[in-house]
């Protein structure tokens, strides 16, 4: 194997691929990236057995076909340390990879490409195209509600629900729920798949750099997203997501409209003196005003009052302040709409300017 490539052309895709590689692996080859040279293409692959990223790059000049695997982090660090626009030459020498650039020379240990695992050669299933911004919005508006290390493993990820003409993302940790919809003409089938947490975060990062439409293939065990010259494949979580429709409150007879930024700042200030473990606050709703109170075991207290558009009966209800703040941070509109029932019912939170996203926050007993 032998090829040359410009540092700027190689560095970004190499960093993207290396991001899925775990530093500590039981299999040494999983700490490596797979380099494959065929004709005028260089393919770089990284995997942790759950996710796989493959980047394809065009190369020219003196090329010898071949394949090998080399330590991912060391290769990234070498490329980062070289001067901008440097030409980097790679050549296999026995069981070593020689890397030369200008007066610099590096020798990296390799492992055989035959030891490198392949997630799945071909993912077959429902296929559709979507704008990267639309797919990333589905993720970014709901990802904060995913559980972390929950024993209900199917909550440690994000549900993607396909229905004809529509794609929906749903995330919940059992205490709050986030849901976002997008109209996608190419979706023809019905399906529900759960993408693991790490896959969700990597996909969001990948989409931020994508240009043009991306192709999404939803298979039985994998999801594959092809964006530009990068292919992302993730195993799916084998489990049944809860029937989330059942937790969306249907009877909310109290409708409150407030300035999002004003409410967010008030909640942030009150949160300073909330109980550090439970993060509970007391919300008292009256005509035209919303009072927020917090206290902690040190007998410290905080109180804020916010003017709101509300004309109904009084209500007192408790919430985890962190959950409310994360919802408000996920929104971008000037106004927030709260739909409330009684003190034991979940709150429905929405952005009147972007109805495609809906949030549910369960109440707390104080």
Asked whether the beta carbons of 347 and 360 are under 8 A apart, the reply is yes
Question: DSSP for 274-341?
Answer: S-TTT-EEEEEEETTEEEEEEE-TT--EEEEEEE-B--S--EEEEEEHHHHHHHHHH--SSEEEEEE-
- pLDDT at 199 > cutoff 70: yes
pLDDT value, residue 135: 97
Kindly report the CATH number that applies to the domain delimited by 2-115. 3.10.150.10
The residue-averaged pLDDT of 333-348 equals 96
Q: Are the C-beta atoms of 334 and 258 separated by less than 8 Å?
A: no
Q: Does residue 346 register a pLDDT over 80? A: yes
pLDDT score for 121: 66
Interval 103-156: pLDDT, tens: 999 999 999 999 999 876 666 788 999 999 999 999 999 999 999 999 999 999
Angstrom distances, CA of residue 68 to CA of 16, 192, 265: 19, 37, 54
User: CATH classification of 126-245, choosing from 3.40.50.720, 3.10.150.10, 1.10.3720.10, 3.20.20.70?
Assistant: 3.10.150.10
Q: What is the CATH number of domain 248-361?
A: 3.10.150.10
pLDDT at 120: 66
Give which of 22, 54, 57, 25 is closest to 39, Cα–Cα. Answer: 57
What pLDDT was estimated at residue 251?
84
**Structural domain spans, the chain:** 2-115, 126-245, 248-361
Give me the phi and psi of 33, to 5 degrees please. -110, 150
- pLDDT band for position 210 (50/70/90)? confident
Residue 248, phi then psi, degrees to nearest 5: -80, 115
Q: What is the pLDDT of residue 26?
A: 84
pLDDT of 2 above 80:
yes
Share of the chain above pLDDT 70, in %: 99
Q: Is 105 exposed, middle or buried (0-12, 13-18, 19+ CB in 10 A)?
A: exposed
Mean pLDDT score, 331-350: 96
- Maximum Cα interatomic distance, the chain, rounded to a whole number of Å: 80
Of 112-121, 201-210, 289-298, the least confident: 112-121
Q: Which of 156, 180, 174 is nearest to 331 (CA)?
A: 180
341-357 mean pLDDT: 95
Confidence at residue 352, expressed as pLDDT on a 0 to 100 scale: 94
What is the per-residue pLDDT across 56-82, written as a single tens digit (0 to 9) for each? 999 999 999 999 999 999 999 999 999
pLDDT of residue 228 exceeding 70: yes
Task: Spell out the residues 6+ positions from residue 249 whose beta carbon is closer than 8 angstroms to its own.
Answer: 339, 341, 345, 346, 347, 348, 360
- Cα angle 184, 190, 195; round to 5: 80
Q: Which two tokens stand for residue 300?
A: 């410290």
Q: For residue 102, what are the contacts with CB-CB under 8 A and spacing of at least 6?
A: 82, 83, 86
Judged against a pLDDT cut of 70, whether residue 301 lies above it is answered with: yes
Per-residue model confidence (pLDDT) at position 30: 96
For residue 37, the model assigns a pLDDT of: 98
User: How many whole angstroms separate alpha carbon 57 and alpha carbon 212?
Assistant: 18
Could you give phi then psi for residue 186, rounded to 5 degrees? -75, -15
The Cα 103–Cα 209 span in angstroms is 33
Q: Give, rounded to a whole angstrom, the gap between the first and last alpha carbons of the chain.
A: 66
Q: What is the pLDDT of residue 15?
A: 96
Mean pLDDT for the stretch of residues 280-308: 97
CA 100, 84, 65: angle at the middle one, nearest 5?
A: 40
**Per-residue pLDDT reduced to its tens digit, 30-58:** 999 999 999 899 999 999 999 999 999 99
Cα gap 158→193, rounded to integer Å:
8
For the chain, the average pLDDT equals: 95
Q: Mind giving me the DSSP string for 141-206?
A: TTGGGS-SS-SSGGGSEEEEEEETTEEEEEEE-SSEEEEEEEE-TT--S-EEEEEEHHHHHHHHHH
| Sign of the dihedral defined by the CA atoms of residues 117, 119, 120, 121, in that order | negative
% of residues, the chain, pLDDT over 90 = 92
Query: Residue 99: helix, strand or coil by DSSP?
Result: strand
Q: Does the fold of domain 248-361 match that of domain 126-245?
A: yes
């Amino acid at each position: 194997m032998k090829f040359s490539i410009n540092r700027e052309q190689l560095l970004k895709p190499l960093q993207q691929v290396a991001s899925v590689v775990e530093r500590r692996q039981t299999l040494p080859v999983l700490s490596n990236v797979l380099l494959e040279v065929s004709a005028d293409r260089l393919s770089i692959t990284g995997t942790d057995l759950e996710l796989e990223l493959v980047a394809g790059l065009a190369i020219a000049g003196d090329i010898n076909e071949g394949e090998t695997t080399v330590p991912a982090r060391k290769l990234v660090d070498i490329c980062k340390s070289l001067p901008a626009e440097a030409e980097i030459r790679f050549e296999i020498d026995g069981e070593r990879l020689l890397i030369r650039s200008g007066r610099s020379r590096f020798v990296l240990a390799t492992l055989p490409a035959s030891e490198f695992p392949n997630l799945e050669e071909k993912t077959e299933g429902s296929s559709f195209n979507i704008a990267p911004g639309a797919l990333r919005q589905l993720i970014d508006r709901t990802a904060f509600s995913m559980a972390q290390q929950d024993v209900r493993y199917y909550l440690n990820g994000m549900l993607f629900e396909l229905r004809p003409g529509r794609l929906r993302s749903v995330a919940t940790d059992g205490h709050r729920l986030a849901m976002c919809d997008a109209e996608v003409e190419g979706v023809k089938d019905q399906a529900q798949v759960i993408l693991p947490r790490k896959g969700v975060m990597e996909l969001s990062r990948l989409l931020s750099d994508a240009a043009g439409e991306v192709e999404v293939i939803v298979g039985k065990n994998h999801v594959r997203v092809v964006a530009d010259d990068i292919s992302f494949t993730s195993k799916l979580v084998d489990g049944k997501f809860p029937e989330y429709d059942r937790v969306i409150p249907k009877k909310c007879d109290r409708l409150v409209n407030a300035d999002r930024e004003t409410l967010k700042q008030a909640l942030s200030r009150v949160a300073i003196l909330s109980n550090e473990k439970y993060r509970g606050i007391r919300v008292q709703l009256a005509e035209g005003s919303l009072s927020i109170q917090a206290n902690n075991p040190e007998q410290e207290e905080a109180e804020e009052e916010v003017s709101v558009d509300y004309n109904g009966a009084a209500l007192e209800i408790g919430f985890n302040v962190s959950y409310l703040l994360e919802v408000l941070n996920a929104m971008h509109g000037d106004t927030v709409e709260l739909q409330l029932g009684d003190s034991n019912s979940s709150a429905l939170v929405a952005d009147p300017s972007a109805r495609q996203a809906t949030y549910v926050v369960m109440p707390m007993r104080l």
